[in-house]
Amino acid sequence: MARLEASGVIRGYTVQLDQRRLGLGLQALIGVFAAAGVTREALTALLTEQEEIVRAWTTAGSADALALIHARDSDHLEQIILRLQRTKAVVHTRTQILLTELVSRG
């Protein structure tokens, strides 16, 4: 282990929380379509402000970014979506609610 840590193969350690036990049983991926001229830095700042977003990526697909959300329920998810859509940086969103996890190698 020490050699793997020293060589940088192991970058760190983490705690994995059970989101359901924290009351955040609904997961969704939100595709974020940014307004013209919005920089990656500005989009990163906007997504970072949303505490329910646990991970986010830029994409090579139709959306500019994809955000993984943990929400209490569908009402909470709707609040998150509306909060994003009300900003001038976001033109629209496309949401997919996650059901059964098929593979987890994380």
Residue range 77-102, pLDDT digits in tens: 999 999 999 999 999 999 999 999 99
| Residue 93: domain span | 26-97
User: What is the CATH number for 62?
Assistant: 3.30.70.920
Which residues touch 12 (CB under 8 Å, ≥6 apart)?
A: none
Q: Is 1 inside any structural domain? A: no
Q: What is the token pair recorded at 100? A: 């059964």
| pLDDT recorded at residue 5 | 83
Q: What is the token pair recorded at 9? A: 């193969």
| pLDDT recorded at residue 22 | 63
Q: How many domains does the chain have?
A: 1
Q: Which of the pair, 14 or 103, is modelled with greater confidence? A: 103
Q: Is 10 inside any structural domain? A: no
Q: Is 74 inside any structural domain? A: yes
Instruction: For residues 96 and 92, give the distance between their C-alpha atoms in angstroms, rounded to a whole number.
Output: 14
Q: Which of the pair, 37 or 15, is modelled with greater confidence? A: 37
Q: What does the pLDDT look like over 54-79, one tens digit per residue?
A: 999 999 989 999 999 999 999 999 99
Instruction: For residues 65 and 56, give the distance between their C-alpha atoms in angstroms, rounded to a whole number.
Output: 7
Which residues touch 10 (CB under 8 Å, ≥6 apart)?
A: 1, 4
Q: Is 9 inside any structural domain? A: no
Q: Give the pTM.
A: 0.82
